[in-house]
Amino acid sequence: MATRVRPSSKRCTVIGGSGFLGRHLVERLVDRGYTVNVFDIRQAYELPGVTFHQGDLCDKQALLVALKDVSIVFHCASPAPGSDDRALFQRVNIDGTQTVIQACHEAGVQKLILTSSASVVFEGTDIKNGREDLPYAKKPIDYYTETKIQQEKLVLEACSKEKGFLTVAIRPHGIFGPRDPQLVPILVDTARRGKMKFIIGDGSNLVDFTYVENVVHGHILAAEHLKADSPLCGQAYHITNDEPVRFWDFMSQILVGLGYSAPRYHLPYTLVYGIALLLWLIALVLRPLIRIKPTFTPMRVALAGTHHYYSCTRAKKDMGYQPPVPLQEAIVRTVESYPHLQKGA
């Protein structure tokens, strides 16, 4: 009779390992002596000790090859939040995650660590020091959030000590750092088009921004603390820098660091939100004819004009989480990593 070889606890697969967070995670795992497979729709780089498997996570057969003899799977693939494509989010974040879970079962994977998002509880209104027991957003602010909620539920409900399949969800917020394709590039692009002159609201709203290495640290701690007798099984954990900052101070620091002016003039939040909603509706109606991508989406305006910061107490207590890189150092490292986005470059 053929016996299944028990996979080494240091063999893992990173789904979405070519992306911003995924690649930082892969690099850190390799440093820590893990053998790493990357499964992604694209191969973005090469790294000694890393095996790439190119494919769509909705394709179970392709996934099974990348999960062979692996004990841990990190799932950090998702369509970009700005894509606003409902069918794509449904296919990848919901149907695809179901496929990932099935593939994990069939391949004998023991642990699945999902990159969820703190936004699963965000409805566009203030959240101050929010804990993980806040209810999921009843009216999610966009398709991305809607499908991240379903995805997290699927993964946490799949946790089964009896089956020897343990799951946990990491909920980061506002990830930034070197190679981020979203936050800094969108900010700079908006500034270059002369649209970063205004502060939405009174500018006092506090928000969590989380340095990518701290998010990676949270994922690895979760993987290493996830055991049948640990409190992590089937739970969600906020992972942030634990230093809420005024949204507009953070944006201004990055802009000024890159040589652009900080926004100065205030606009009422409700006015900007109303305009963003209207533009979104116009874009939706015109979509069959022309594809418009407004910069100020309702989601971005809500994120820019409300308080939303989260407590990491659960992660500190259950897995000893402390953010290794403080916010100010993280901002300096990030600014230095984008010489090509400096004003005049």
Ligand X SMILES: NC(=O)C1=CN([C@@H]2O[C@H](COP(=O)(O)OP(=O)(O)OC[C@H]3O[C@@H](n4cnc5c(N)ncnc54)[C@H](OP(=O)(O)O)[C@@H]3O)[C@@H](O)[C@H]2O)C=CC1
Ligand Y SMILES: CC(C)CCC[C@@H](C)[C@H]1CC[C@H]2C3=C(CC[C@]12C)[C@@]1(C)CCC(=O)C[C@@H]1CC3
Q: What residues line the site for ligand Y (CB under 6 A)?
A: 81, 117, 119, 173-174, 182-183, 186-187, 190, 295, 300, 303-304
- CA angle 85/88/94 to nearest 5° reads 125
Measure the CA–CA gap between 279 and 296, rounded to whole angstroms: 9
Q: What amino acid occupies position 124?
A: G
Q: Which does 96 bind (CB under 5 to 8 A by kind): ligand Y, ligand X, none?
A: ligand X
* Residues pairing with 75 in the sheet: 15, 114
Residues 75 and 100: beta-carbon distance below 8 Å: yes
- In our burial notation (b when 16+ CB lie closer than 10 A, e otherwise), range 277-293 reads eebbeebeeeeeeeeee
Least Å from the CB of residue 315 to ligand X: 14
Least Å from the CB of residue 278 to ligand Y: 16
Residues 301 and 200: beta-carbon distance below 8 Å: yes
- The alpha carbon dihedral of 94, 301, 83, 142 has a sign of positive
| Dihedral over alpha carbons 324, 328, 333, 339 (to 10 degrees) | 160
Least Å from the CB of residue 212 to ligand Y: 12
Measure Cα distances from 132 to 21, 129, 299 in Å: 22, 10, 21
Catalytic annotation on 144?
yes
Least Å from the CB of residue 93 to ligand X: 8
Task: Kindly list the residues in this chain that would bind ligand X in the complex (CB under 6 A).
Answer: 16, 18-22, 40-42, 56-58, 76-80, 92, 96, 115, 117, 148, 172-175, 181-182
Least Å from the CB of residue 244 to ligand Y: 13
Our CB check for ligand X shows the closer of 68 and 91 to be: 91
Q: Which does 190 bind (CB under 5 to 8 A by kind): ligand X, ligand Y, none?
A: ligand Y
Our CB check for ligand Y shows the closer of 6 and 264 to be: 264
Our CB check for ligand Y shows the closer of 109 and 187 to be: 187
**Concatenated DSSP letters for 206-263?**
EE--EEHHHHHHHHHHHHHH--TTSTTTTEEEEE--S--EEHHHHHHHHHHHTTPPPP
Active-site residue identified among 45, 136, 143, 144: 144
Our CB check for ligand X shows the closer of 243 and 267 to be: 243
Our CB check for ligand X shows the closer of 111 and 171 to be: 171
Residues 18 and 57: beta-carbon distance below 8 Å: no
Residues 36 and 18: beta-carbon distance below 8 Å: no
Residues annotated as part of the active site: 144
